[in-house]
Amino acid sequence: MKVGLFGAVMLLLSTGVMAQEAQTPPAEADAKQEKKICRTDRVTGSLTRSTRICLTRAQWQEVHRRTKQGLDDTVRQAGGGCQAPSNVMKGSMC
């Protein structure tokens, strides 16, 4: 009797698990199907060493956006402050 009851409970539990696996949200299904793009980057200072990086298209776009933002911030900060005058004798020094 216990074996039969245990078997029935396991059967009911397994059907619930299978139903949950079948109901994957569309966002997860799209993410699983999204193709990875791999790129090889050379390590600075090494002639032979390289690293392989694999990301999705959206992740590569985010990497490029952050890199561009960092470069823009650096240029903006470097442009401010004291600039050297073209004629030292007539111009003011900082």
14-45 residue pLDDT tens: 545 444 555 656 666 666 668 999 999 998 99
Question: Which distant-in-sequence residues (6+ apart) come within 8 Å of 58 by Cβ?
Answer: 34
Residue 93 clears pLDDT 50, i.e. is over it: yes
**pLDDT tens figures, 43-68:** 899 889 999 999 999 999 999 999 99
Residue 7 clears pLDDT 90, i.e. is over it: no
pLDDT at residue 38, rounded to an integer:
95
Nearest Cα residue to 40 out of 24, 28, 55:
55
Q: From the CB of residue 63, how many other CB atoms can be counted at a distance below 10 Å?
A: 13
